[in-house]
């Protein structure tokens, strides 16, 4: 594989950082989120997680990590458009628990690192809890994120919480913030990872977004809001709505908007989850790694769309789909 980069760094203004701490923080989060919080044993180790409303619809997707400063302190990284609403919603259920929830998004500068793979291999049926390790000990907080698995390669990711803009500059980010933000979101699309924003909040059951295939849902952990709906979706009958990646090659074509329903409003064939134009040469570098050795994808798409819809219908208003980097069931 022809590699031109080892790692890239840049700021992530789209991310929010919620600090959740207190003697009851672990048990509180275990009762609220979709994943098994008790499995977070090492500081700085993050897992995919979500929060559902009583109807089983995801309020957010993001990463939860136990911090290094205390065993009863956690960092939750979600989309910034949801930070205030999520903090408010979680505080409603604290009740008498000894838990404090703080939105520290404006206090820290969040910087991300993407590591290009040194080897390429296909992904197993379901993502395993393999994580990158934070590379630099100087930030106030370093979080190793779950590996981004694409069709032919895996990408390491981490997030550093920096105290000031001056410290951010001293970390020598090598990509303009706007460019890096796009590259970060492009990697989400290559890995078919749904990222919930305010526009998409409370619209999808986790399985509609393939979220359980990313390891974002634990079906053995016990109760949490919407758990019965999520469990029924998993075990009763065959899932009929899933998410897929669609490639758009025509640069003159209008891109659909995030959250847009394609088809009849009463029964849309597809609902757009995330969409993005290829972010220049860095996006091309990720693309070449993600589809290494695949002549059909030798040239990067003009744009990618992650869309949710019926899986039993042929064709799509978006055009041909790209093979997902994971199987949609254990039988595949």
| Average pLDDT estimate for 288-301 | 71
In DSSP terms, 247 is beta-bridged to 304
DSSP letter at 317 equals T
Question: Does 125 score more than 90 pLDDT?
Answer: no
Confidence (pLDDT) at 182 = 95
| Average pLDDT estimate for 207-212 | 97
CA distance from start to end of the chain: 28
Counting Cα atoms < 13 Å in the Cβ hemisphere of 25 gives 22
Span of 108-122, 226-240, 279-293 with lowest mean pLDDT: 108-122
Residues 6+ apart with CB under 8 A from 296: none
Let me know: does 83 contact 76? Beta carbons within 8 Å: no
The domains of the chain, with CATH numbers, are: 1-332 (3.30.1360.120)
Question: Does 127 score more than 90 pLDDT?
Answer: no
Confidence (pLDDT) at 1 = 40
Confidence (pLDDT) at 135 = 47
Question: Does 272 score more than 60 pLDDT?
Answer: yes
Angle at alpha carbon of residue 157, lines to 151 and 163, rounded to 5°: 160
Helix (H) or strand (E) holding 29: helix 25-32
Who wins on pLDDT, 121 or 115? Answer: 115
Confidence (pLDDT) at 220 = 94
Q: What is the DSSP string of 227-243?
A: HHHHHHHHHSS---EEE
Instruction: Quote the tokens at residue 136.
Output: 């630099």
Q: What is the DSSP string of 218-231?
A: -TTS---TTHHHHH
Question: Does 314 score more than 50 pLDDT?
Answer: yes
Span of 90-99, 164-173, 209-218 with lowest mean pLDDT: 164-173
Question: Does 136 score more than 50 pLDDT?
Answer: no
Residues 6+ apart with CB under 8 A from 95: none
Task: Give how far the C-alpha of residue 311 lies from the chain's centroid of Cα atoms, to the nearest Å.
Answer: 22
| Average pLDDT estimate for 222-240 | 89
Let me know: does 195 contact 79? Beta carbons within 8 Å: yes
Question: Does 296 score more than 80 pLDDT?
Answer: no
Angle at alpha carbon of residue 56, lines to 257 and 99, rounded to 5°: 105
pLDDT digits 0-9 by tens, 2-30: 444 588 999 999 999 999 999 999 999 99
């Amino acid at each position: 594989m022809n590699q031109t980069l080892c790692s890239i760094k840049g700021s992530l203004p789209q991310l929010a950082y919620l600090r959740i701490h207190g003697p009851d923080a672990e048990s509180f989060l275990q009762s609220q989120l979709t994943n098994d919080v008790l499995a977070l044993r090492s500081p700085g180790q993050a897992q995919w997680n979500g929060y559902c409303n009583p109807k089983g619809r995801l309020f957010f997707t993001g990463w939860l990590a136990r911090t290094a400063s205390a065993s009863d302190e956690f960092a939750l990284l979600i989309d910034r458009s949801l930070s205030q609403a999520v903090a408010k919603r979680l505080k409603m259920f604290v009740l008498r628990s000894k838990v404090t929830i703080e939105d520290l998004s404006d206090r820290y500068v969040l910087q991300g690192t993407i590591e290009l793979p040194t080897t390429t291999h296909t992904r197993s049926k379901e993502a395993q809890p393999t994580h990158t390790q934070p590379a630099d000990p100087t930030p106030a907080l370093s979080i190793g994120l779950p590996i981004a698995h694409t069709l032919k390669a895996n990408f390491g990711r981490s997030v550093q919480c920096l105290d000031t803009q001056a410290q951010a500059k001293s970390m020598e980010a090598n990509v303009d913030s706007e460019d890096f933000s796009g590259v970060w979101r492009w990697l989400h699309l290559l890995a078919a990872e749904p990222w919930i924003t305010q526009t998409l909040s409370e619209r999808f059951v986790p399985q509609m977004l393939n979220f359980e295939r990313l390891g974002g849902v634990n079906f053995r952990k016990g109760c949490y809001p919407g758990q019965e709906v999520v469990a029924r979706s998993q075990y009763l009958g065959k899932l009929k709505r899933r998410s897929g990646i669609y490639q758009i090659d025509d640069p003159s074509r209008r891109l659909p908007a995030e959250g847009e329903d394609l088809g009849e409003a009463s029964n849309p064939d597809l609902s757009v989850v995330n969409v993005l134009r290829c972010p220049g040469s860095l996006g091309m570098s990720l693309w070449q790694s993600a589809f290494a050795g695949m002549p059909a994808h030798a040239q990067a798409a003009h744009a990618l769309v992650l869309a949710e819809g019926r899986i039993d219908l042929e064709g799509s208003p978006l055009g041909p789909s790209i093979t997902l980097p994971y199987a949609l069931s254990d039988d595949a």
